[in-house]
Amino acid sequence: MESYSGHILGQYQRMSLAYEVLGDEQKRKRYDSGAWGFDEQQQYAQNFDFDSFLRDFQESKWP
């Protein structure tokens, strides 16, 4: 169960970072231009799969 919780937390962190970038005009311009310096957390946003996140969330709430 702990690894599953960690997976959900990781998905949430990736979604939060994506939202942060999309919600900030300067960050979005940097990302769109390819000038975004990817650190470990920023790389998660690049591979974020929102459908997978929703599926995991629904399964955890309604097994």
Number of domains in the chain: 1
Q: What is the spatial distance between Cα 34 and Cα 56, in angstroms, rounded to a whole number?
A: 30
Over 80: is that where the pLDDT of 19 sits?
yes
Average pLDDT score, the chain = 74
Kindly state the tokens that stand for 7.
């997976």
Q: pLDDT at residue 31 above 60?
A: yes
pLDDT above 70: percentage of residues in the chain: 70
25 is in which domain, residue-wise?
A: 2-61
